[in-house]
Amino acid sequence: MLRFLFRLAAMVALSVSVIMAVLDTTRSVAASALVLTPLNTSWLAASPDTRSAFESFVRDKAGSLLWDGVIAFVLNQPGFAVFAVFAFILYMIGYRRERTTGRFAPA
């Protein structure tokens, strides 16, 4: 059941990644130049209240070093790439390997 939830979350993250990539592609075609929207810009456009709440939560609980060093770096990356990597990690967690025992045994 837990593997299913991780694979479902991976599918949702991959869907968000594809949507963000299509938006960036449309903007690139319209501008006749490469447009890569950072995740921070997309998040602020969608819900600025949750973005500021997340920043204050991280600064209060983990300190400003984590925010300035790691999270700010991730938020400045293109949104489709961040969600694609997140989807890949979730899929790896929920992946089920094929059992190799009895694979070549006669049926």
Q: If phi over 0 gives left and psi between -120 and 50 gives alpha, with beta otherwise, what is residue 18?
A: alpha
58 token code pair: 């991280």
Residue range 5-50, pLDDT digits in tens: 999 999 999 999 999 999 999 999 999 999 999 999 999 999 999 9
For the whole model, what pTM was predicted? 0.82
Q: How crowded is residue 78: how many other Cβ atoms within 10 Å of its Cβ?
A: 19
Residue 65, exposed/middle/buried by CB under 10 A (0-12, 13-18, 19+)? exposed
43 token code pair: 């998040």
User: Helices 48-61 and 39-46, interaxial angle, to 10°?
Assistant: 120
The full set of domain ranges for the chain reads 1-37+79-96, 38-77
